[in-house]
């Protein structure tokens, strides 16, 4: 592994230390000292000073980083691949190193469905229902050959998972080694880290079960709602007038005028 070394900037390690102490003072709102206190920094120096002392990122990236490092897999073992999935929880290939050891039994609390094993036609609607019960954002890994393609058994009883749910990562193998499944999970982690927009939703026109309205639509809906409300109020006022019209000619003249 190569270690890249970068220059510390003018002055070497001592000046860096001074800049670090200055930034600490700055945060505490105190007086600055040293050859170049930040209050006197300009332009590019100031930029570099800020970079060294503060980490900047977009909110999307931060959220994607958090999501990718805390998958909660759902316990969904179907057949032989489930045993190898249990192996990644075991000590040799330890999935807890990455933070994914919290296998949740309830799909409501899980966000990663590792489909491990062959999906028979009796089981397919149930898998779909479990997947639907998971909350957004959710991902699916198809582990093993049987759910990715048909695997060893290309016959009447099995359904490949692609037919009824969108899969993000396919892990081949029969069963895949625990290391291979770990590689697949880490690939998914990289995917989620790098692409916070969940591109497959656009590719597959799969909007899941949530309603997505864009801003324009929402504004129009709000306008229509207020219009309808005003209509209703006017109609109610007219109705009230009509009731009192017979007994009160003055009111009618007043409202008419």
Q: Give me the residues that bind another protein (CB under 8 A), please.
A: 75-80, 82-84, 86-87, 89-92, 105, 107, 117-118, 120-123, 126, 130, 146, 149-150, 152-160, 162-170, 174-175, 177, 184, 187-188, 190-191, 199-200, 202-206
Non-local (6+) Cβ contacts of 183 within 8 A are 171
CB 35 within 8 A of CB 15: yes
Distance CA 178, CA 186 (A): 12
Q: How many whole angstroms from its chain centre is CA 250? A: 65
End-to-end CA distance of the chain: 89
CB 143 within 8 A of CB 114: yes
Smallest distance, another protein to C-beta of residue 171, A: 9
Smallest distance, another protein to C-beta of residue 212, A: 15
Quote the strand ranges of the chain, DSSP E: 73-74, 112-116, 139-143, 169-171
Instruction: Indicate the residue among 45 and 101 with the shorter CB distance to another protein.
Output: 101
The residue whose two tokens read 């007043």 is: 254
Distance CA 164, CA 13 (A): 59
Smallest distance, another protein to C-beta of residue 239, A: 49
Smallest distance, another protein to C-beta of residue 220, A: 22
Smallest distance, another protein to C-beta of residue 155, A: 4
Smallest distance, another protein to C-beta of residue 136, A: 16
Instruction: Indicate the residue among 5 and 122 with the shorter CB distance to another protein.
Output: 122
Instruction: Indicate the residue among 19 and 112 with the shorter CB distance to another protein.
Output: 112
What angle, rounded to 10 degrees, do the helices at 12-28 and 43-53 form? 80
Token pair recorded at residue 96: 């807890």
Instruction: Indicate the residue among 22 and 87 with the shorter CB distance to another protein.
Output: 87
Instruction: Indicate the residue among 49 and 159 with the shorter CB distance to another protein.
Output: 159
Instruction: Indicate the residue among 202 and 220 with the shorter CB distance to another protein.
Output: 202
């Amino acid at each position: 592994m190569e270690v890249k070394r970068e220059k510390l900037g003018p002055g070497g390690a001592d000046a860096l230390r001074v800049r670090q102490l200055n930034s600490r003072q700055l945060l505490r709102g105190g007086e600055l000292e040293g050859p170049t206190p930040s209050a006197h920094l300009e332009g590019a120096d100031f930029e570099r000073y800020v970079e060294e002392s503060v980490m900047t990122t977009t909110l999307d990236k931060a959220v994607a980083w958090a999501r990718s490092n805390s998958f909660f897999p759902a316990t969904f073992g179907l057949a032989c691949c489930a045993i190898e999935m249990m192996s990644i929880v075991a000590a040799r290939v330890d999935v807890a190193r990455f933070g994914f050891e919290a296998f949740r039994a309830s799909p409501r609390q899980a966000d990663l469905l590792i489909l491990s094993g062959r999906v028979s036609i009796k089981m397919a609607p149930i898998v779909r229902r479990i997947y639907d019960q998971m909350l957004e954002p959710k991902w699916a890994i198809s582990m093993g050959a049987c759910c990715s393609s048909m695997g060893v058994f290309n016959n009447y009883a099995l359904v490949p998972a692609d037919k009824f749910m969108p899969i993000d990562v396919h892990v081949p193998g029969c069963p895949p080694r625990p290391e291979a499944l770990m590689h697949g999970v880490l690939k998914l982690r990289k995917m989620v880290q790098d692409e916070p927009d969940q591109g497959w939703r656009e590719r597959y026109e799969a909007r899941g079960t949530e309603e997505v309205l864009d801003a324009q639509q929402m504004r129009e809906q709000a306008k229509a709602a207020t219009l309808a409300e005003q209509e209703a109020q006017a109609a109610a006022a007219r109705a009230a007038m009509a009731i009192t019209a017979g007994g009160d000619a003055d009111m009618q003249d007043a409202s008419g005028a």
